[in-house]
Structure 1
Amino acid sequence: MWKAGFKWMFLIIGTMIGAGYASGREIWQFFGHESGLAIVLFSILFTYCIYLIMTISYRYQSTNYSTILEALLGDKIAKFYDILIFFYLISVTTIMIAGSGATFEVFKLSKWVGILFIAVIIVLLFIRGVQGVISLNTFILPLLITGLLTILVVFIKDEQLTFIWSLDHQSNWSSAFTFTALNILSILAVLGAVGDKIQSKKEILIASIGSGSILGLVTLLYNNSLIQISEIIILFEIPLFAILKNYPNYAYIVMSILLWFAIFTTAISSTLGIVTRLQSYVKLTLSKLAAILVILLIPLTNLGFSTLIAWLYPLYGFLNLYLLAAIILFPFYTKFSYNE
């Protein structure tokens, strides 16, 4: 029970901790000053949403995200979100593959080495199917979380930072909803693919409380550190490197590797959502679908995504808020039984 619960917990965290989160850019964009309450609310809200999504997935023994969408939104709206999620996952996977190329350039290697490397690893991983993705997350995520927490704790200790918190100044509390909404599409897509592998409600409880608590703690520590170096963050494309600016070069190397793993975990989670959905239409193995997918997406990594993202992400943000509201209100407008 505990082992299975941790397995799902790492899958959830692996989906959540992408390059944007691990680099600190996403955290600084949504939180920053006067956000302690927002982060606590996010942790609670995230736990609640994960519990509901996993419960629906378990109840219907789902193998892709369409089942969850139909339960939450009804058939007509679910069809719209089905298309939305599919293209969202496509864009995320493409950006992560391109991000792997950019990471390899840090080590003075061609971006194509990084792109081909992540593409090959994704295909090889899916030879073992969904279990391969779950097993890899169970191995990588403890390393990623430990590395990130170690850097934050060492930084806080070395700089003798104080913990900034005041209930009188918490004007940014609403960011809890937008931050949760930003990540809910990809998490729903991944959890919808593993419903038939969840064995008990206790696993769901462990996974939801564990993932919400860990992400809440890491976000709180990360944000508190960034607040206290806010005057220099503007000088860094990656806020995490502002934290590392006084550390030796090997710290940058280690963190660049960790950032690549964050990119990788997001890429495989997004690919999982795509190929499990495609498998309901095309009777091919997951590895073959993954191979076809990455071959088609590699040429797209040459395109400029900044304009596309600038247009799509506000749209996703608005539509995600509707989906988040549907998840939150689900127990109040359905006769769904949570005891079955």
Structure 2
Amino acid sequence: MATDSPTNINAFKIAATYIGTIVGAGFASGQEVLQFFSAFGLLGIWGIVLASALFFIFGYMILVIGRALSASAYVEVVRFSNGRWLGSLIDLIITIFLFGALAAMIAGSGAIFVEQFGLSSWWGTIFMAVVALFTVIRGIKGVINAISFVVPVLLVAVLFIAIYGIYRSPVTSADLELTTTLVGAAPNWFVAALNYASFNLVIAVAILAPIGPNAKNQSTLLWGALLGALGLGVGVVAIYFSVLSNITDVAHVEVPMIYIASLISPIVQLLFAVVLLSAVFSTAVSNLYGFVSRMTFVDQKHRIWLIVGTTFAAFIVSQVGFSTLVTYLYPAVGYGGFIFFAGLLYVWFFKRNEIKSVE
């Protein structure tokens, strides 16, 4: 893995990397938004507001603490925030989750190749594993540049499909009534929003922590976190209304946004499948980099073999299947992330003198 550092990284690249880390298969497909927000009807809007606020607040905290510690991996932030013993437990949870989420993204790529391109899942899993492998070998600079390129295209595509979905079928009282029959990802919109922000931030900490030290100043971190949270919020709102306005058709569809894209034309459906694949790529790359950067006991000379070995192992695990991995992995980590949140809040309010960054 290359050792070059993207010194003086700007707010846009921080925001793009933050967004790209989170907008994986679940986000861009519309499935996460359906389960965590649209399923709660109009109350889901409050959930989006809460989740977006949490993305800003905790994303900024992670960046600042990472900068203060000159962190090269997320483990430094986790142990500083939660102490030696509890921090070690959270570190283990995050490390396992990063590997599992990487396997889930590789499996998700295989599912896209089967469902949208009519090809064997082997082509999709091999493709994603190889592309992620070579991107991470270039180091964090390569990861940031790749994600920064993908994110604008991804957001524009999601917004286009979402706006069409809303235009084609505005939200009606019947749509809102149907949401009362749906089972969301949590008992209510408040818990759903907390859980959604939690498991996504558990992924994001792996890439945000080492970015902090490479920003020009703390103001850059503030704007990067704010723009990232706003970008995520806008994307979720667009998908939320698009899914809600077509809830009768997409309530039980695996990939709601692909279905809505198919209503425009088969070509648009195919193009959005490519966009969805890019979303999977951005998250896979972030997960692989975060996992490998955690293995601080491996020296730089042997780091490339660690990347290759991790990718190959994730490829093997991915054969279990995308839905199986997500069903058992994501919810548990989301609730576990609450402990990490508590640690960040404690440090922010009671250890302020230790995290003051030098402008």
Query: TM-score, normalised on structure 1?
Result: 0.91
Instruction: Please point out which of 125, 148, 151 is paired with 1:138.
Output: 148
Instruction: Please point out which of 52, 55, 63 is paired with 2:61.
Output: 52
Secondary structure of 1:194's aligned partner: helix
CA distance in 1, matches of 2:189, 2:44: 5
Aligned to 1:118: 128
Report matched runs for 1:137-156 at 5 Å: 137-156=147-166
Q: How many residues align?
A: 336
Q: Please state if 1:251 is matched with 2:268.
A: yes
Instruction: Please point out which of 199, 202, 220 is paired with 1:185.
Output: 202
Instruction: Please point out which of 97, 106, 119 is paired with 1:109.
Output: 119
- Give the aligned residue type for 1:215: L
Aligned to 2:183: none
CA distance in 2, matches of 1:78, 1:97: 28
Aligned to 1:168: none
Unaligned regions of 5+ residues in structure 2, if any? 1-6, 177-187
Secondary structure of 2:264's aligned partner: coil
Greater shift in the superposed pair: 14-23 or 324-333:
324-333
CA distance in 1, matches of 2:238, 2:82: 36
Q: Kindly provide the CA deviation profile for residues 227-286 of structure 1, in whole angstroms up to 9, marking residues without a partner as x.
A: 222222234111113423422101110111111111111100000101111144344355
CA distance in 1, matches of 2:19, 2:130: 23
Instruction: Please point out which of 231, 241, 248 is paired with 1:214.
Output: 231
- Give the aligned residue type for 1:150: F
The alpha carbon displacement at 1:203 in A equals 1.4
2:199–2:334 Cα contact (<8 Å) kept: yes
Q: Please state if 1:73 is matched with 2:79.
A: no
CA distance in 1, matches of 2:154, 2:329: 29
Secondary structure of 1:231's aligned partner: helix
Greater shift in the superposed pair: 75-84 or 276-285:
276-285
The alpha carbon displacement at 1:186 in A equals 0.8
The alpha carbon displacement at 1:125 in A equals 1.4
Q: Please state if 1:61 is matched with 2:78.
A: no
Unaligned regions of 5+ residues in structure 1, if any? 166-170
Q: Kindly provide the CA deviation profile for residues 154-207 of structure 1, in whole angstroms up to 9, marking residues without a partner as x.
A: 332344558999xxxxx7244321211121111111112333322311210111
Instruction: Please point out which of 24, 29, 34 is paired with 1:28.
Output: 34
CA distance in 1, matches of 2:324, 2:169: 39
Secondary structure of 2:138's aligned partner: helix
Q: Kindly provide the CA deviation profile for residues 121-169 of structure 1, in whole angstroms up to 9, marking residues without a partner as x.
A: 122212321110011011111111111112212332344558999xxxx
The alpha carbon displacement at 1:327 in A equals 2.4
2:166–2:241 Cα contact (<8 Å) kept: no
Aligned to 1:98: 107
1:63–1:195 Cα contact (<8 Å) kept: no
The alpha carbon displacement at 1:3 in A equals 6.5
Aligned to 2:98: 89
The alpha carbon displacement at 1:339 in A equals 4.7
- Give the aligned residue type for 2:59: I
Report matched runs for 1:34-45 at 5 Å: 34-45=43-54
Report matched runs for 1:271-286 at 5 Å: 271-284=288-301, 286=303
Q: Kindly provide the CA deviation profile for residues 66-89 of structure 1, in whole angstroms up to 9, marking residues without a partner as x.
A: 110012101111111111111101
Report matched runs for 1:300-311 at 5 Å: 300-304=317-321, 309-311=326-328
Gap change, CA 1:296 and 1:307, over 3 Å in 2:
closer
Alignment RMSD: 2.5
Percentage of matched positions with identical amino acids: 27
The alpha carbon displacement at 1:296 in A equals 2.1
Aligned to 2:332: 315
Gap change, CA 1:5 and 1:52, over 3 Å in 2:
same
2:99–2:291 Cα contact (<8 Å) kept: yes
1:64–1:192 Cα contact (<8 Å) kept: yes
Aligned to 2:356: 338
The alpha carbon displacement at 1:35 in A equals 1.4
